[in-house]
Amino acid sequence: MPACSTPATLVCRWAADDNRSGANTALSSSEGRLVELGWGPEEEAFRAELIEFLEREAPAEAVGRDFATAGEDEGIPEWARAWQAKLFDSGWLVPGYPRHLGGRDATPSQSLIYAEELASRGLPRSLHFPGYAIVAPSLLDFGNQEQRQLAPLALRGDTIWCIGMSEPEAGSDLASLSTRAERDGDRFVVNGQKVWTSYATWAEKCFCYVRTDADAPKHKGISVLIIDMNSKGVEVRPLKHITGKANFAEVFFTDVEVPAANLVGSLNDGWRITMGSLAHERGGLWVQGVAGLEHVIGVLTEQAHQLGIESDVGVRRSLAHAYAQVASLRALGYKGFSTFAKTSSSPEHSFLKLASSEMSKSLAELGVQLEGGLGTTLDDSYIDHAGRWANTLLANFAATIAGGTSEIQRNIIAERVLGLPRQ
């Protein structure tokens, strides 16, 4: 039996001469024999239990909403709040966490299966990602005992959080942020502005990056404060996406008083937390991204059948090309997952973020093309689901910007993967 380490519990075995059905993947070994890749019995039992839970409990509104976000009109809908709480209470919110944090001490491989199963059904865990995906893990890693107690509430969705990183003059170059926090006795006084702050309109708390030492080199004078969004001096002005939805905002801070006890980690050590927060954001994204793309290719293929254009050479070629690309992304993702599990970082994630966000745009474009002229209409009195692909195309631009733009990912690949000199 060949050694196998990617992922840790993926079972590798020499296959018979033929490529038997039932194997997840079959690779040719250097000796010309086939190697089957499949999950072990514990992972398959985990998957079966999860599927049974999802089929029994997932609300109809959640299915197919994976990349959907809450919008201006609806806020965070009641079904989404109830679903997030149910996932937490059943130990299915973040399976790798212990029970009191909404998990079940799942292994990394089981967590991977979890992310794949949700994404392949188009199921979201939550319609507001900052609390469960970024703030909770950051509080658990860097917060004091009292602050860590905020994590279960963030995970369950009982507290809605926003993240105050970007500013008008500090986006890709986050370390240039200039929102000031000055110490005054047992409090900080905060002045400045954040922008593109997702869910700020509904958030109760902000995980906010502020400058606490203006004289230090720019990476060294940053701290993190927990700011109550209903504090005097906080003003939120919603911003509309290109799709017309408004789920991010500008946030203005004018002489906002924040208790000194709300400092997370050490004073002026916020850059370390920034890196932690972004790692949490990137760590699990690829599985969602890749499985989500596979889901979209399935929808497009079904659509080609419905429209009677499945024999068209161009359509077949586009779908097959997309499928081949996603298959290679998945293989790269497994490689990155293995490195990430060992070292908590892997440059593959930049490539996967870049490739999957750019590909989600081109698949939506293909959807518009498949629908022909009607694909561009947003009026569903002409065609069922009108605007589905056009809106998705517009919305998917955001994925190539949020969490580090495509250009920044290319810089990272150039420097850290290819070893090219910094600009």
Ligand X SMILES: Cc1cc2nc3c(=O)[nH]c(=O)nc-3n(C[C@H](O)[C@H](O)[C@H](O)COP(=O)(O)OP(=O)(O)OC[C@H]3O[C@@H](n4cnc5c(N)ncnc54)[C@H](O)[C@@H]3O)c2cc1C
Regarding 402 and contact with ligand X (CB under 6 A), the answer is yes
Binding segment toward ligand X, per CB under 6 A, in 83-91, 218-226, 280-288, 405-413: 405-413
For ligand X, what does the binding mask look like between residues 125 and 164, x meaning CB under 6 A?
Answer: -----x-------------------------------xxx
**Could you give the CA distance from residue 182 to residue 213 in angstroms, rounded to a whole number?**
9
Regarding 196 and contact with ligand X (CB under 6 A), the answer is yes
User: Among residue numbers 245 through 284, which ones bind ligand X (CB under 6 A)?
Assistant: 248
CB of 241 to ligand X, least distance (A): 7
Instruction: Reply yes or no on whether 281 is catalytic.
Output: yes
**Could you give the CA distance from residue 51 to residue 105 in angstroms, rounded to a whole number?**
18
Regarding 178 and contact with ligand X (CB under 6 A), the answer is no
Among 401, 412, 413, 414, indicate the residue that binds ligand X (CB under 6 A). 401
Q: Concatenate the DSSP letters of all residues of 80-93 into one string.
A: HHHHHHHHHHTT-S
Pick the catalytic residue: 43, 281, 294, 371? 281
Length of the chain in terms of residues written = 423
Nearest alpha-carbon partner for 87 in 77, 105, 99, 75 = 99
User: Among residue numbers 298 through 327, which ones bind ligand X (CB under 6 A)?
Assistant: none
CB of 226 to ligand X, least distance (A): 15
Looking at residue 218, what DSSP letter applies? T
Binding segment toward ligand X, per CB under 6 A, in 2-10, 15-23, 91-99, 394-402: 394-402
Q: Work out the number of other CB atoms within 10 angstroms of the CB of residue 240.
A: 13
Burial code (b: 16+ CB inside 10 Å, e: under 16) for 76-101 equals bbeebbebbbbbbeebbbbbbbeeeb
Kindly give, in sequence order, each residue whose CB lies less than 8 Å from that of residue 111, ignoring residues fewer than 6 positions away.
94, 95, 96, 284
Contact yes or no for 29/44 (Cβ under 8 A): no
Binding segment toward ligand X, per CB under 6 A, in 49-57, 107-115, 194-202, 276-284: 194-202
Among 9, 191, 262, 411, indicate the residue that binds ligand X (CB under 6 A). 411
Among 71, 171, 238, 276, indicate the residue that binds ligand X (CB under 6 A). 171
Among 408, 412, 413, 414, indicate the residue that binds ligand X (CB under 6 A). 408
Binding segment toward ligand X, per CB under 6 A, in 11-19, 28-36, 314-322, 395-403: 395-403
Task: Tell me the C-alpha to C-alpha distance, in Å, between residue 257 and each of 104, 190, 232, 262.
Answer: 39, 7, 8, 11
Residues identified as active-site: 281
